[in-house]
Structure 1
Amino acid sequence: MPPPDSQPCVDIQALYTDHHGWLHNWLRKKLGCGSSAADLTHDTFLRLLTKKDPIEIRESRALLVTIARSVLSNHFRRQKLEHAYLEVLARLPEPVLPSLEDQAILLETLLELDRLLDGLAADVRQAFLWSQLDGLAHADIAARLGVSLTTVKRYIVKAGVQCFFAA
């Protein structure tokens, strides 16, 4: 029996060799697209490789599915955000359309902001976005959310701290 403080070693190469094809097929069924499934299979193993803490794997496929579901969720969230962004761009008159380079930068910024605000309550995110992106006054945000001015200030600070310290 290993000492209680010893960390088990995970053989990622064997895990990859044994389960890559199975995971790819599982994701392909979920996505209906082989190339997207290949990308997300790669991302799943990459997440496993970049985990800071050692992990003990009892059920390989259960672990891979758990990680893959998170990767899949992020994929769908990114698609939804990208679709909404493209809809907004489509409604802009051509003279004010940002360049393709600026569009790509803006989209990446939106995706990063979404990642940074992930996990916050919906009202906290909304207050922060109305304040920072729409320039609404705190009193207007309080009225829209049906909360006090102090609560709005607390929400905005909380979201700002989340963004600042996420890196």
Structure 2
Amino acid sequence: MNTEHLYLQHHSWLFGWLRGKLGCHAQAADIAHDTFLKLLLKPHPTQLQEPRAFLLTIARGLVIDHWRREDLHRAWQEAMHALPQDAVPSLEQQHIVLSTLEAIAQSLEKLKPRVRHAFLLAQLEEKPYAEIAKALSVSVRTVERYVAEALFQCYQLRFSDDIAAT
């Protein structure tokens, strides 16, 4: 089955599923497009046993990413509205910060939930490791490992361009 046939056979079904999930024609069209684009970038995209299941897996991930970005943008807008007018960063600075926050959120999503939770408690709420350990019912050493794993993920994100350039 060639790629064009896959698209013709499954696009309207996928678009309908996405429109039902998102409630927006334009967003459903964008994500359906991105789903097929990701499919095309896979090795041997035409040798799928269950193309709908594969497309649905890709689309679900893209929908989750979309919702995460919307939540982040909503929180950002609320934070900007709370600032005094003279303290609001320029549109360029806002774009840079939002892009960075999106990359961090995407990176942290790759972590196991307990690792992410421990890291956020340590970094955002400045909880001591002993308190985090008690809250998660693990040892302090385990919290140290969790935070180190999350920090390493952040390190990789921070230096990914530098590493790729070398």
When normalised by structure 2's length, the TM-score is 0.77
Identify which of 125, 137, 142 aligns with 2:129.
142
Task: Give the match's secondary structure for 2:111.
Answer: coil
- Whole-Å Cα distance in 2 between the matches of residues 135 and 27 of structure 1? 36
The structure in which a higher percent of residues are helix is 2
- Whole-Å Cα distance in 1 between the matches of residues 131 and 83 of structure 2? 26
Shift of 1:79: 1.2
Equivalent residue, structure 2, for 1:38: 29
Q: Find out whether 1:59 has 2:46 as its counterpart.
A: no
- Whole-Å Cα distance in 1 between the matches of residues 82 and 40 of structure 2? 42
Identify which of 46, 57, 79 aligns with 1:88.
79
Equivalent residue, structure 2, for 1:72: 63
Task: Give the match's secondary structure for 1:159.
Answer: helix
Identify which of 99, 107, 115 aligns with 1:116.
107
Equivalent residue, structure 1, for 2:90: 99
Contact persistence 2:119–2:146 (CA under 8 A):
yes
Q: Which amino acid aligns with 2:78?
A: E
Shift of 1:66: 2.2
Contact persistence 1:40–1:68 (CA under 8 A):
yes
- Whole-Å Cα distance in 2 between the matches of residues 83 and 164 of structure 1? 26
Q: Which amino acid aligns with 1:87?
A: E
Q: Which amino acid aligns with 2:67?
A: F
Q: Find out whether 1:11 has 2:2 as its counterpart.
A: yes
- Unaligned runs of at least 5 residues, structure 2: 161-166
- Whole-Å Cα distance in 1 between the matches of residues 23 and 2 of structure 2? 30
Contact persistence 1:124–1:159 (CA under 8 A):
yes
Q: Deviations over 1:54-94 (max 9, x none)?
A: 45312322322222112112111221122122222221222
Q: Deviations over 1:90-130 (max 9, x none)?
A: 21222221111111111111110011111323342244345
Shift of 1:44: 0.6
Percent of counterpart pairs with the same letter?
Answer: 43
Number of residue pairs aligned between Structure 1 and Structure 2: 153
Q: How much is the aligned-residue C-alpha RMSD, in angstroms?
A: 2.5
- Unaligned runs of at least 5 residues, structure 1: 1-9
Task: Give the match's secondary structure for 1:120.
Answer: coil
- Whole-Å Cα distance in 1 between the matches of residues 51 and 19 of structure 2? 19
When normalised by structure 1's length, the TM-score is 0.76
Choose 119-128 or 156-165, whichever is displaced more. Answer: 119-128
